[in-house]
Structure 1
Amino acid sequence: MKLCSQVIGAISLVLILGSLNVKVVECKVGRGLKNTEYYAINCRKHSAVLTDFGGVGDGKTSNTKAFQSAIRKLGQYASDGGAQLIVPPGKWLTGPFNLTSHFTLFLHKDAVILASQVESEWPQLPVLPSYGRGRDAPGGRFSSLIFGTHLTDVVITGHNGTIDGQGSYWWDKFHKNQLNLTRPYMIEIMYSDQIQISNLTLVNSPSWFVHPIYSSNITIKGLTILAPVDSPNTDGIDPDSCTNTRIEDCYIVSGDDCVAVKSGWDEYGIKFGKPTQHLVIRRLTCISPDSAMIALGSEMSGGIQDVRVEDITAINTQSAVRIKTAVGRGGYVKDIFVKGMTLSTMKYVFWMTGSYGSHPDPAFDPKALPNITGINYRDVVATNVTYSAKLEGISNDPFTGICISNVSIQVSEQKKKLQWNCTDVAGVTSNVTPNTCQLLPEKGKFDCPFPNDKLSIENVQLKTCSIKKVF
């Protein structure tokens, strides 16, 4: 193994040319030295390549020990400028591995991390405290492929290298009801601060793709996330009980919600009491015929507040920005601001559900009613739509403070006669076609509000970092 005090790994001439041959070199400066750059919240002083630790990129040899050994060794440099692990060109089969603080995992554009389909390679973890049980099964859960907890300053990035969850093994077990534990997620970071996940292609996760939970100061940028549209629960990005999160410039094709904002499930989420708040989502493109572009809930019992969404696009997707909740959830969804949606071939433009009644167990409190208020949509263009809106609040617990302005909806040939179906909601509208329901009356010309200030996560500037390569 060779480590360099400046960010060096060692990659041959053909890192530029796209060859699969990689040469490991010692740290040196001299003729033929060039840099490849990437952008990160922090750069690293030390560097190594996976092959330094016995990694074999043939798509068949297990690299679980190589990843674990590399990260354990590089973790020693956390207090000395941090370290990065370079995954070079090749197909790197591996079971789960845990990250460390002040660390960057960098994937070359021709690198593919392949998740093992050997179930015994996947460690078991206890259930999440804000959920009280596994999402698929009551017991524990399998570790995520890339996992970390109680970390600071973690970057997972690359030049659009690929992580393949090889999820078909897990989807098949799910469909056959053969799971005793919840399926793995692809990337999960818990109880951590300063996280970046960017510039990668993620495909075929066993379940959710990217799951930051109980964490803060998160940047998720430039991801391409792909799963079959009939694959079960393959949510793209699920910020869960997180504060200060920025999601931008992502393209997602999913069998479930492209982005699902969460904060715990029923009595467990209420007791844990950690909301998702101060979240910005922008320049998102989604394809999901059976789910939402952005879902708020249904697990929202710790609360969701101050979500800012702008310049988003959905194509052949069931709904746009959807609220999902139920009696027993408690919590709140409030101060939601959406501006600039371009939608094509949608079942619903606006959809709010107060009867999304899946519960972890029968112990939920039927008196725990969610507070849904301050929901704002503006500047929407939608074509080929079946229903303009289905807005169903909860009896004796209406959804209030709904504002919808400047909306143009063109219905499809399969349009339904009742375009706006509204119950137990209250609010106002302006310049919306087709005409809205009586519970959302037209109140003249105005724009629904959208914040002018910036969240602190929006002010985070990425640094230009480099990997030096010698040929």
Structure 2
Amino acid sequence: MASSPRKKDIILTVAVIVLLGLVGFRGVKCSRTGKVLESASSFSYEAINCRKHSASLTDFGGVGDGSTSNTMAFLKAIEYLKQFESDGGSQLIVPPGKWLTGSFNLTSSHFTLFLHKDAIILASQDEKEYPLIPYLPSYGRGRDAVGPRYAAFIFGTNLTDVVITGNNGTIDGQGASWWDKFRKNELNYTRPYLIEILYSDQVQISNLTLVNSPTWFVHPVYSSNLLVLSLTILAPIDSPNTDGINPDSCTNVRIEDCYVVSGDDCIAVKSGWDQYGINFGMPTKHVIIRRLTCISPDSAVIAIGSEMSGGIKDVRAEDIVAINSEAAVRIKTSPGRGGYVKDIFARRFQMDTMKYVFWMTGAYGSHPDEGYDPKALPVITGISYSDMVAKNVTMAANLAGIDGDSFTDICISNVTIGPSPKPKNLQWNCTDVVGLSSVVSPPACTLLPDEGENPCPFPSDKLPIDDIQFQTCSYQGNS
């Protein structure tokens, strides 16, 4: 016999109360003990802030079988947790399982997305699961195609205090179908990034494994106070444009302890494209990169540009391991870019099997449209490389500035480069560059004369992003 309307109301009310009990009163504690809890329902992690409220994806109908869509479960969970934004914040727990979902938006500040170590979030391969959003104003178009672009798999805008972390859980972009369509020129819009955070402050992305992004993996843009820590990023070395970490028009960025295998640059520092980046005028500055390991046979360990029209200043890279990569540090620009690259410091690199160690080019080309001004010349100055060892290198350096717009104040010191079995006859190729060298083997080009014992500078001041204090957040779920 059918239930009466009154009985249905009672059942619905009880269900809502049970759901609220599940997601509203789970135990979340902050401490500084560092104690790690190891069960599926209990754990701890370090974050810039802990949360008062917590919920599991399963509370909203999530099914972790690898084939059931969880798009609505993610949307409902995030929408529900948004109510706690001003009441101690909230966290969404992704438990063990394989969770297939389309793109989702982190709409709440003071929010944490936490992946259990045995959790895998699988990105849908259905283009309809990725809404179209406007192109970035500092780019003037999508990078793959003119016009709008697909939203990132995980994205957020105008947020404060957001953490995406885990005990090394996995986010799988399942990018192969996107790469295939890109190669066949079958896409009408720019591919989605894996994680993109816009116009936000106090962002932590940490302790995750990220694999097979459709294009760039981690793209913070127009944001500040960013921590990108302990990520493992993996993509086939022939996958198109799978850059690892790309801070773009951002201030105060700290990237540490990351391992990247990529089909493109492991890290690319950017700030907008030609006239659009010049007009937007938001530089990237105060960037720390430490303890990075990179494998990228066709691209750079650290690239500056090529989109650098809003300016890039004060990048500090140290204690880097490069294996089978095209270049250790590559500065990419061209007439029409405008902007500047200033005060770039790199030291203590260990390299094995490189096409180049140092690479600068003022002829990168690649313009968004015909509206750029070829007379908008970039300023490249204050580039300092020191304390580096490389072996099995094809060519030590290819440094090419712009005729009439030389790259200046370049300093290279205490660098030893061992040739590959088949090295280039010309080890240093230099044009339109000005600077000096000190204790470099093989000796640098004549445009970088040896100044004897004259170490290149590296900043001794401490940036504010280094003073961030982490809390140990402990979670006790239902048994």
Same fold per superposition (TM over 0.5): yes
- 8 Å CA contact 2:26, 2:477 repeated in 1: no
Could you tell me which amino acid in structure 2 is paired with residue 139 of structure 1? G
Find out whether 1:253 has 2:261 as its counterpart.
yes
TM-score by length of 1: 0.94
Find out whether 1:435 has 2:423 as its counterpart.
no
Instruction: Report how many residues are paired.
Output: 451
Among candidates 52, 57, 71, match of residue 59 of structure 2:
52
Find out whether 1:375 has 2:383 as its counterpart.
yes
Equivalent residue for 1:4? 24
Please state whether the residue corresponding to 1:3 is helix, strand or coil: helix
Among candidates 282, 299, 308, match of residue 274 of structure 1:
282
Among candidates 207, 211, 214, match of residue 206 of structure 1:
214
- 8 Å CA contact 2:27, 2:477 repeated in 1: no
Counterparts of residues 129-148 of structure 1 (less than 5 Å): 129-148=137-156
C-alpha distance in 2, partners of 1:5/1:216? 32
Post-superposition offset of 1:462: 1.1
Find out whether 1:90 has 2:97 as its counterpart.
yes
Among candidates 177, 194, 219, match of residue 185 of structure 2:
177
Equivalent residue for 1:467? 475
Find out whether 1:42 has 2:49 as its counterpart.
yes
Post-superposition offset of 1:5: 4.2
Please state whether the residue corresponding to 1:69 is helix, strand or coil: helix
Could you tell me which amino acid in structure 2 is paired with residue 161 of structure 1? G
Equivalent residue for 2:10? none
Aligned-pair identity in percent equals 70
Post-superposition offset of 1:263: 0.2
Post-superposition offset of 1:444: 1.2
Partner deviation per Cα, 1:238-292 (whole Å, 9 max, x = no partner)? 0000000000000000000000000000000000000000000000000000000
| Higher Rg | 2
Could you tell me which amino acid in structure 2 is paired with residue 261 of structure 1? V
List gaps (5 residues or longer) in structure 2. 1-18, 30-36
Find out whether 1:233 has 2:253 as its counterpart.
no
C-alpha distance in 1, partners of 2:246/2:475? 30
Counterparts of residues 437-456 of structure 1 (less than 5 Å): 437-456=445-464
Among candidates 289, 298, 301, match of residue 297 of structure 2:
289
TM-score by length of 2: 0.93
Post-superposition offset of 1:36: 1.7
Partner deviation per Cα, 1:123-148 (whole Å, 9 max, x = no partner)? 00111000000000011100000000
Partner deviation per Cα, 1:132-173 (whole Å, 9 max, x = no partner)? 000000111000000000000000000000000000010000
- 8 Å CA contact 1:405, 1:429 repeated in 2: yes
Among candidates 157, 177, 189, match of residue 149 of structure 1:
157
Post-superposition offset of 1:6: 5.5
Counterparts of residues 104-123 of structure 1 (less than 5 Å): 104-123=112-131
Post-superposition offset of 1:342: 0.5
- 8 Å CA contact 1:8, 1:48 repeated in 2: no
Could you tell me which amino acid in structure 1 is paired with residue 355 of structure 2? K
Equivalent residue for 2:73? 66
Find out whether 1:315 has 2:335 as its counterpart.
no
Post-superposition offset of 1:408: 0.5
Post-superposition offset of 1:16: 3.8
C-alpha distance in 1, partners of 2:325/2:156? 32
Equivalent residue for 1:262? 270
- 8 Å CA contact 2:151, 2:192 repeated in 1: yes
Post-superposition offset of 1:470: 4.3
Partner deviation per Cα, 1:172-195 (whole Å, 9 max, x = no partner)? 000000111000000000000000
- 8 Å CA contact 2:401, 2:431 repeated in 1: yes
C-alpha distance in 1, partners of 2:23/2:48? 22
Post-superposition offset of 1:339: 1.1
C-alpha distance in 1, partners of 2:359/2:174? 32
C-alpha distance in 1, partners of 2:164/2:43? 16
Equivalent residue for 1:421? 429
Taking only aligned residues, the RMSD between alpha carbons, in angstroms, comes to 1.2
Post-superposition offset of 1:3: 2.0
- 8 Å CA contact 2:28, 2:51 repeated in 1: no
Please state whether the residue corresponding to 2:465 is helix, strand or coil: helix
C-alpha distance in 2, partners of 1:282/1:8? 31
Moved over 3 A (4+): 4-9, 15-18
Equivalent residue for 2:333? 325
Please state whether the residue corresponding to 1:372 is helix, strand or coil: strand
Find out whether 1:386 has 2:394 as its counterpart.
yes
Among candidates 395, 406, 415, match of residue 398 of structure 1:
406
C-alpha distance in 2, partners of 1:145/1:68? 13
List gaps (5 residues or longer) in structure 1. 10-14, 23-34
Could you tell me which amino acid in structure 1 is paired with residue 395 of structure 2? Y
Post-superposition offset of 1:7: 3.9
C-alpha distance in 1, partners of 2:26/2:85? 14
